[in-house]
Structure 1
Amino acid sequence: MTSDTPSLYQPGSLQDHFLFSMPHMNDPNFAQTLIYICEHSESGAMGIVVNRPLGIDLSELLNHLGFSDTSDQAEPVYAGGPVQDDRGFILHRRTANEWESCYHITGELTLTTSMDILQAISENSGPEQFLVALGYAGWGAGQLEQELSENVWLSCPANLDIMFRTPAEERLQAAAATLGINLDLLTSQSGHA
């Protein structure tokens, strides 16, 4: 990921979509998760789990990193996925400010991994809407497509109100509801004729 990298939409790409786990998902890393797909191409996919708070408040993380937190926001830090779970990933609405390491996913949403955005957040000069996660979810070439064909995941277009304004515990069902789906009524046989 480099600064000012434009996102490249490809036919069949799930970039800028939510991916949600089916009820029969057994993997503890992904059971009951809602993932925002940041990048998806023939090389693989990368996303951030957006509904699993770690039980750590952002102010704790900022203090641990040596920033004096003057913000008035009590934001949770999320478990973004099992890959590089010691590294921070900030999903945020695009702003006029540019940070050292940004990947513009869409015209509205950016993924930033540099410390300068955390300093700005601690000083109340960061983006208005953001989500801080430790780690990410990743798939190799063809892996996500295979899992989709096995009914492990469903997808829908992302909704930023769900990601930023809906309480974390309601996001999974809210995303499914955009498709008219109640996850409690689904089985592992969905989609098979």
Structure 2
Amino acid sequence: MYDLKDKEMIFVFTGPDGSGRKTVANMAARTTLHMTGVISYTTRAKRPYETDGEDYHFISEDAFDVAKENGEFLEDVVINGCRYGIKEEDVRSKFAQKGCIYLVLNNEGADILKQLYGEKVIRIFIYADRSTVIERQQERGDNEAVIERHLSHYDRDMAYKKVCEHAFENYRLDHTAFEVTEIISNYLQLDLTTED
């Protein structure tokens, strides 16, 4: 297991699918500059709006099995019959570039990292109400079966909010990203104020 150095931290963005967690994470990272993302590996099929190597690393079941047998995953979970995992080497190499990293994970993945690294992991819960989540998934092109699958665990996802270190209702993306950036900056003790 990768040992975090003194000033290294992991920010985990979690929440219901369609809440905007990945968009908020990316916006905060662009603003903070001291943070870089680690991309998960998955066996699920790529959706039309996704890019391999940017949204996920899309790999076969066999490739996932080999990586797992070789002990390459820091954490791995099964969601809706598909496998997801974060490779330890990716975490190590990203920390070599920046002082902290961020990941976009579901509840199970967030829990695993929290158990591994304790207070070094800050969970940021991004959420929106059910109708907003449905609307966003429709806008990005998810089909009804995918949306229904996501909604089947919406309530369980929302229940995770109470154990996260921070939670943000995401209705105005720019506002949410600004609030998240301020929180991260406090952890990293950065002064991001700019003069007009």
Instruction: State TM-score, norm by structure 2.
Output: 0.31
From the two aligned structures, give the one with the greater strand fraction: 1
Q: Which has the higher helix share?
A: 2
